[in-house]
Amino acid sequence: MKIALGVTGCIAAYKAVEVMRGLQKRGAAVQVVMTSSATQFVAPLTFQAISGYPVISATFAPTDDPEIKHIQVAQSVDLLLVAPATANALAKFAHGIADDFLSTLYISTTAPVLVAPAMNVEMWAHPATQENVRILRERGVYFVDPGEGYLACRTVGAGRLAEPEEIVARAIEIIEKSQTRPAGEGSATPLTARGTFVGRYNKDLAGEHVLITAGPTYEAIDPVRGVTNRSSGRMGYAIAEAAEARGARVTLVSGPVALKPPGGVDLIRVRSASEMYSSVMEHLPASTIVVMAAAVADYRPVRAAGQKLKKGQETFVLEMERTEDILAAAARARSAQVLVGFAAETQNVVENARKKLAEKGCDLIVANDVSAADAGFDVETNRITLVTSEATREMPLITKREAADVILQAALDVRSKQTSLTEA
């Protein structure tokens, strides 16, 4: 297998040497492509000595090779990996700017592309960078998201290059899956997540109306206090982004979250379980796929105080009542919609998911262990298990955006099986 390793200009460039060594240990031949800025941090000779290949750092460097170099590399590699990828590189890739060898290589290759961003925390959080990331994800580009920690700029936060072992493992995984692509798939169709193939501009959900719930609900105790949970809404928002990118009309019913909604979706903001129930039941008839990713409060105060409750007794008893069971209600009211529920568990994950599948009457349950540090709340990754009446499918650790495509594909697979049974 052959990998083009793009190295861009930031202090994390030195870690690209470890990434290259890790790829070589897994049997990959590595062609290094450096931007001119990257050469200010690590000398090209370092990569050349270890890789055994001349490093490409200029588009028009003299050569005895009659081939057009960027096309030759673009057509010969199994993966383009950019690690580290700066904010500038992401912007170029997102907007088709091809003014150096690496950006020209990106726009020329039909191989899968994996990027591992690294930059200052404010640069990573900037709306322009996040928009560029969104654009690239929609086009099928894979990400190994940056971690949090102490950065070279003497700040602490997200932006630190992912660990080299993690990048290497992800790269090899993508190549192995792309090489087992189903017959008939062309090389221009990248793998989205562990066996789900979606073209960069594939609109396989065109004509669908996907109804999605996301985030927590908030049940008021008094005007300043309430009962809620730790859901960030990231998984539901990722599903909304993926569905819109694949051509669906998307209605996103969201509890209170601190997330920017994906472009092109119909966003309905709600607060309580009762409000979410009303909105879901209103939009259910027009939907074709329903994904209930919200973490709805199971109980609410029987009476919410009109004024702030003052501190008094040493103990305080709050009388609670059950909230609306939105998933079960949707299952009873639906017609032909595919219904996907979620089970956030801390123990007996699959067992509890199977029980929920039977009790709620939905077609698919997406279960995950929310006590896991890398797959619970407020992280960009997830480790999901897809549970249907026929099978259980465990997924490895993937990003929530990749998990979103897996979940949508699973919903389509469920409907395909239902259609086959109906026609039989």
Contact 179, 78 (CB under 8 A): yes
Amino acid at 3: I
- Give alpha helix (H) positions in 96-148: 101-108, 121-125, 127-138
Q: By C-alpha distance, which of 180, 166, 110 is closest to 140?
A: 110
In whole angstroms, give the CA distance from residue 412 to residue 204.
10
**DSSP 3-state assignment of 373?**
coil
Amino acid at 33: V
- Give alpha helix (H) positions in 198-325: 234-245, 273-283
Strand ranges inside 35-126, DSSP E: 79-85, 113-117
Q: By C-alpha distance, which of 190, 87, 104, 88 is closest to 146?
A: 87
Q: Using CA of residue 88, residue 90, residue 92, residue 94, what is the dihedral sign?
A: negative
- Those residues whose C-beta lies under 8 Å from the C-beta of residue 101, and which sit 6 or more positions away, are 33, 35, 56, 57, 58, 59, 69, 70
In whole angstroms, give the CA distance from residue 323 to residue 297.
7
Active-site residue 153, yes or no?
yes
In whole angstroms, give the CA distance from residue 376 to residue 359.
24
Active-site pick, 58, 153, 305, 329? 153
Amino acid at 240: A
List the structure tokens of 286: 């027009």
List the structure tokens of 184: 């008939």
For 412, the enclosing helix (H) or strand (E) is helix 400-423
CA–CA distances in Å: residue 367 to residues 288, 385, 406: 22, 5, 13
Contact 29, 2 (CB under 8 A): yes
Residues catalogued as catalytic: 153
